[in-house]
């Protein structure tokens, strides 16, 4: 009933992977709820999938009747470990 995908689009996909991903999303479309996290916005997906047409088809299905929550800010993983970095670290800017 629920599929959760975390850190999607962290790395670019080759054409075969993008096609498989489309088939997965197409199969889940209107059959299952999906929770998806990504550090890339939809405007970057065409480049990361290597095909704007596939990206549009995937996003069309994902965004139909969806709720999008945009979070902004630094890494929550590093946030609580600032003591590991000295004052001049790029993480503490």
Q: How far apart are CA 33 and CA 26, in angstroms?
A: 12
Write down the pLDDT at residue 84: 65
Task: Give residue limits of the domains in the chain.
Answer: 2-92
Please tell me the CATH code under which domain 2-92 is placed.
3.40.50.300
User: Is the model's pLDDT at 83 over the cut of 80?
Assistant: no
User: Dihedral of CA 51/57/60/66: which sign?
Assistant: negative
| Position 50 confidence tier, pLDDT thresholds 50, 70, 90 | very high
Compute the average pLDDT of residues 17-32.
Answer: 96
Q: What is the pLDDT of residues 57-82, one digit of tens each?
A: 999 999 999 999 988 877 767 766 66
Average pLDDT, the chain: 87
Compute the average pLDDT of residues 35-58.
Answer: 94
Q: Is 24 exposed, middle or buried (0-12, 13-18, 19+ CB in 10 A)?
A: middle
Write down the pLDDT at residue 71: 82
Compute the average pLDDT of residues 36-56.
Answer: 94
User: Is the model's pLDDT at 20 over the cut of 70?
Assistant: yes
């Amino acid at each position: 009933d629920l599929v959760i995908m975390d850190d999607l689009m962290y790395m670019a996909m080759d054409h075969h992977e993008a096609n498989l991903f489309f088939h997965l999303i197409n199969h889940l479309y209107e059959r299952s709820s999906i929770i998806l996290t990504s550090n890339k916005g939809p405007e970057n997906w065409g480049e990361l999938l290597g095909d704007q047409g596939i990206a549009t088809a995937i996003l069309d299905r994902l965004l139909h009747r969806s709720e999008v929550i945009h979070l902004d800010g630094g890494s929550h993983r590093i946030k609580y470990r600032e003591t590991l970095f000295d004052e001049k670290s790029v993480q503490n800017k």
